[in-house]
Structure 1
Amino acid sequence: MQKPELIHELEWQARCQLAALYRLVAYYKMTDLIDTHISLRLSHEPEHFLINRYGVTFDKMTASDLVKIDHEGKIFEAYDAGKMVNVAGFVIHSALHHARANINCVIHTHTADGVAVSAQEQGLLPISQHALKFYQNIAYHEYEGIAFSTEERERLVHDMGHYRCMILRNHGLLATGDSVARAFHEIYFLERACQIQVKALSSATLHYPSPKVCEHTLQQFENPMAEPIIQAAWQAALSLIEDQQSDYCR
């Protein structure tokens, strides 16, 4: 579909990309009714980011359903007036976008396995290749109730530090990236790691790789040469919903 006249071409491209990401999160069953949220900073207007209109299920998300918002919560009135935004979504996402210029995309989920691991005292265990992507490479944030207070933003940013991903205790998962492709790759691996852990804990005894192997595997994941793989994975994921493109990009 042709973009609305008022919207900048780069913003429309971002809206279509983010709508696709919402639908992929639904495809992989990472949703929680109308809750949880994904945001994307606008490259040409870094003081603004896009987030979902509250009340639309992720599998139905379209480019026009997204809301352009600034770091103070002000909705861009020209074409997004009247759209409702999840307050908790604004608090969490605005904090990270504002604090770090390299965080362009933020994904927050409440899956059963993600929440289960967030409630386990030891957090994410280094028991799978998926989990080793986050070996000593993930942040934790204590639960403070539903994130309605902007005062929590400072603590979120402090706990996030330099990491890309964070486990929100008793709440869920958070993944970020400098691109949609990177953020999607992070949340996919983190969700899979949690699914594996929940299943593995049904066993009486767990086998752990050595710390040396854990560190080696982390470095393999962090190798800059992995970027083409991340981009290829994103394109492969998009092919799963390519028949929906005309619907989500409207």
Structure 2
Amino acid sequence: MFELKSRSLKGQVTDEEWQTRIDLAACYRLVADMRWGDLIYTHISAKVPGTQHYLVNAFGLAFEEVTASNLVKVDLEGNVLDGSEFGINPAGFTIHSAIHEVREDAKCVIHLHTLATIAVASSTGGLKPWSQYAMFSLPSLSYHGYEGLAVDDSERKRLQNDLGDTNHMLLPNHGGLTIGPTIGDAFMRFYDLQRACEIQVALMQSNEDVIEIPHTIVDGIYDQAKVVHSGQTGGQKAWPAMLRKAYRLDPGFCE
């Protein structure tokens, strides 16, 4: 039976980097628990505080195997910087490095291939204002068309342009993506996007007429959503509870 080699980076990196590693590893474990993962093929990244480097999962590990120490630190050219024996997903490099390069506020980038986000992203009209959850994503939502596996370096610029200054993205035939100023904010943004897509898929499958939210209310909710999901009422408020959940699931992620 193949066993992962254990190496601890605790005490070998700055306190700020170690805390980022803990939060990011917890995020991977939570995504696995939510069943949002895709074997080894999706990725979540976080900026190393005070640097242009970022942390991402080792290519080949399941999300429930990710720990603070086995996360891989890379630069914007994809060079591994921490002596890890693992490499990184080439598609993950293309997507995450492109965003970290141009969005200073993108301290965390979550890109997942969930059934609900793929279904909604690939349907005519994309995400619709059919639920309160959709209101949290629609004010800052963009789309990036499918170009095949994200391994073409030239796609980086197009992805950057499509993302612009938005915090949520749907990728037709591919999945969903959120960014945030903290790991908690990016996680909560994906939670809301995922829920909005799940509700939309359920409504589409029901074959019932959908009660549309009037545009006057939609416009007002857009403004409310910006307030509700900022500062202490957004991801930063929810994240400590999510971190406690990750510890209950398996405290080994913080090793």
2:21 is the alignment partner of 1:18:
no
Partner residue in 2 for 1:27: 33
Maintained 8 Å contact 1:91/1:148: yes
> What amino acid maps onto 1:162 in structure 2?
D
Cα pair 1:16 1:63 within 8 Å, conserved = yes
Q: Which residue of 1 aligns with 2:237?
A: 232
Structure-2 separation of matches of 1:127 and 1:61: 35
Q: Distance in 2 between matches of 1:245 and 1:18?
A: 14
Q: Which moved more, 1:199-208 or 1:114-123?
A: 199-208
Q: Deviations over 1:75-128 (max 9, x none)?
A: 10x432x31100000000000000111111000010111111111011001000
1:216 alignment partner in structure 2 = 220
Letter in 1 for 2:74: I
- Structure 2 residue matching 1:176: 3-state secondary structure: strand
Decide which of 144, 154, 157 is 1:154's aligned counterpart: 157
d(CA) in 2 for partners of 1:244 and 1:196? 27
- Take 1:112 and 1:225, find their aligned partners in 2: how far apart are those partners? 24
1:186 counterpart = 2:186: no
For residue 129 of structure 1, what is the aligned residue in structure 2? Answer: 132
Q: Deviation of residue 170 (structure 1)?
A: 0.8
Q: How many aligned residue pairs are there?
A: 247
Tell me, yes or no, if structure 1 residue 72 matches structure 2 residue 77.
yes
Alignment of 1:81-160 (within 5 A): 82-160=85-163
Q: CA–CA distance in 2 between the matches of 1:145 and 1:120? A: 18
CA distance in 2, matches of 1:89, 1:62: 18
Q: Which amino acid aligns with 1:6?
A: Q
SS of the equivalent of 1:65 reads coil
Which amino acid letter does the alignment assign opposite residue 184 of structure 2? A
User: Please, what is the CA RMSD of the aligned residues?
Assistant: 1.7
TM-score, normalising length: structure 2 = 0.92
Contact 1:3 1:9 in 2 (8 A): no
Q: Which amino acid aligns with 1:100?
A: R
Matched residue SS, 2:46: strand
Q: Which runs of 5+ in 2 are unaligned?
A: 1-6
- Which of 167, 172, 177 is the matching residue for 1:164? 167
8 Å contact kept, 2:136–2:229: no
Residues 159-218 of structure 1, C-alpha deviations (whole Å, 9 max, x = no match): 001100100111000000011111011000000000000000122311111111111111
**For 1:31 and 1:63, how far apart are their aligned partners in 2?**
18
Q: Output one character per residue of 1:26-46: Cα deviation in whole Å (capped at 9) or x when no partner.
A: 11111011111000001122x
Gaps of at least 5 residues in structure 1 are none
Matched to 2:253, the amino acid is Y
How far the C-alpha of 1:232 sits from its partner, in A, is 2.2
- Tell me the TM-score normalized by structure 1: 0.94
Q: In the TM superposition, what whole-angstrom CA distance separates every residue of 1:31-83 from its partner, at most 9, and x where no partner exists?
A: 011111000001122x100000011111221011200001111110x432x31
Structure 2 Cα separation of the partners of residues 163 and 234 of structure 1? 21
